[in-house]
Every structure is written in C-alpha cells, then in structure tokens.
Structure 1
Amino acid sequence: MQWSAFLDAVQERGEYASPAEAERSARVVLALLGAHLVGGVRSELAARLPEALALVLLNPLQAHEPLAPERFIRATAAWIEGATEKTATWDVSAVLSVVADLAGEDLMNRILFQLPPGYDLFFGRPQPG
C-alpha cells in the first residue's frame, strides 16, 4: 500500500483533523506492535506497509514481555502527547484496523497468535470465545 493511501485510511478511521495526526498515531502504534511480533510474521506484515512505516515496525526495541491489551493502550498514551487511555484506544484501533485490512485473514491469524488475548478487538477482528 502506498504511503498516502495508508495515511488516508488511518485518518478516515481515526477521524483525525490532519494527515500529520494520522502519521503520529501510525508511527507510535506500529513501533509498539513491532516490539511484540517476531520472525516471518513481522517481516511479512512489514512487506505490506508503506516503506517508512515498515521500517518503524521492523526496528523497535524488543519487548521484555508481551503487553496485555490494557498496557499496550497505556504505552500508546504515554508516547502520544496529550493522549488519554480513551484517545489511545481510538488511535490503536484506527491504525490496527487498517493494518488488518492489509494483512488479510491468514497473516492476521498468525499475528494474533503471537499477541496476548484481547488484541483481536483492536484489529477489528473479534475472535469467538
């Protein structure tokens, strides 16, 4: 996906006032997500992202332990100036729902397998049970 198309989709879903706001959210969320994904799953997802965002996904510090969804939201809020947990939840969902569309069902299943339970909702892909 092209840079502008990705940011347009994030901007629309997040109802951001500008592409800069969408980019800020995308960079933070993808950096945090990249810290939780490993191996082929991370590189396969990166290949579907615009190049600048693929680099963000591929070059994070590795997480010492997977963050539970609530902690992922708190971490996102901490990295976005002026964000609250409520706005960070919105940011995460806006970015990750676009990522889910790019990933497709097979890759999404493999991504969710690497993450703690509860992330499926962020991607807009609720899992049964």
Structure 2
Amino acid sequence: MKPGTPETVRKQRTHEAATKRGTTDSARWRQLTESVREMGQYTTRAEAERVTRIVLSALGGHVTGDERVALAQALPREAGRVIAAQIPATHPMTAREFVESIATRIEGATPATARWDVSSVLSTLAQTIGTSLTTRILAQLPPGYALLFGRAELVTTASSSAGL
C-alpha cells in the first residue's frame, strides 16, 4: 500500500486507536489493582492483582445475565475477561460459602483473611462500577453479600413487610 492513500490512513488510524485503547485499558487495570492494594493494605500491587483475579473469577460464576455483561463492560478489559470467562455456577453460594471458597484458592488463607481479601476487592469494585450496577448485582446474590461490597445489609422484618 502506498503511504497517504485513504486505505493506509484508515488502517493507521485504526491501529493508533487500538493502541490508545490498550494503553488506557492497561492504565485502568493498574488503577483498579492499585485501589485494591490500598483498600486491602497489600504490600505490592502484584499481591493485589493476584487477589483481584481470584475474587473476580469467583464472582464471575455467580453474576449472570445482563448484570454480568454490564459488569464486564464497566471494568477494565482484563477484569472483564476474568468475569466473562467463568462458567455460571449451578447453585448460588451464601456469602459465607463464597468467602470460604476464596480461602481454598489463596495459599495460607483463613476464612478471616479471605473475608478481608474479598471485601477489599468487592468494595473497590463497588466504587468502580457505581451504585446502580452494584445494587443490581446484589439483587442477584443471596443475602449477606452487601457487607462484602462495603454496604450495609438492609433486612426486611416481618412487621415492615406486613405494612406495620
């Protein structure tokens, strides 16, 4: 192809846009994992990245439908891939079971340290994706997850649901 032809210019612009998107997306991934590092008080970003991948991969199996698509799109491409690559879970896990499943995936973790890890990632995730999408995701999950996302768990009592 000759330099300066419309086809050459178009291909060059497409390549430049893809490179810019990749850089921007890479920066968003670094920003996400840096936020997790700060929230979880991890020593290194590599440790925060490892924990982020583990928690997001577990979450990806439990968020389905439009919320799963919206979540993957709201996150940096790398995080979205981790979410989207998961096979949907066959049964919902309680928040406790979710944390315990994370504990089995992190070497040396206890339920207490896994809860810290999960909360560090999911609280950061909630800040990243915003209130509306977080609320939609929580509506799909069993009760108990809100605290992991850094939110209060609102419980409906029998008297309030009866209109008393």
The TM-score with structure 1 as length reference comes to: 0.96
Q: Give, in angstroms, the shift of residue 81 of structure 1.
A: 1.1
Q: CA deviation at 1:38?
A: 0.7
- Between the aligned residues of both structures, percent identity stands at 44
Aligned position for 2:39: 13
Range that drifts further, 60-69 or 114-123: 60-69
Q: Distance in 2 between matches of 1:86 and 1:40?
A: 32
2:12 match? none
Q: Return the alpha-carbon distance in structure 2 between the equivalents of residues 75 and 8 of structure 1.
A: 24
Residue 110 in structure 1 maps to residue 147 in structure 2: no
Q: Which residue of 2 aligns with 1:61?
A: 87
Give the Cα–Cα distance (whole angstroms) in 2 for the partners of residues 6 and 111 of structure 1: 19
Mapped pair 1:120 → 2:115: no
Equivalent residues, number? 129
Gaps of 5+ in 1: none
Is the partner of 1:127 in helix, strand or coil?
Answer: coil
Q: Which letter maps to 2:53?
A: R
> How far apart, CA to CA, are the structure 2 residues paired with 1:35 and 1:8?
24
Q: Unaligned 5+ residue runs, structure 2?
A: 1-24, 156-164
The match for 2:103 is 77
Aligned match of 2:52: 26
**Larger Rg over CA atoms:** 2
Query: Displacement, 1:128?
Result: 2.2
- The whole-number CA distance in structure 1 between the counterparts of 2:142 and 2:46 is 30
- Kept in 1: contact 2:94–2:143 (CA 8 A): yes
RMSD (CA atoms): 1.1
Deviation at 1:127, TM superposition (A): 3.1
Output one character per residue of 1:54-95: Cα deviation in whole Å (capped at 9) or x when no partner.
101011122111110111011001011111111100000000
Report SS of the residue matched to 1:47: helix
**Relative contact order, higher structure (CA 8 A, sep 6+):** 1
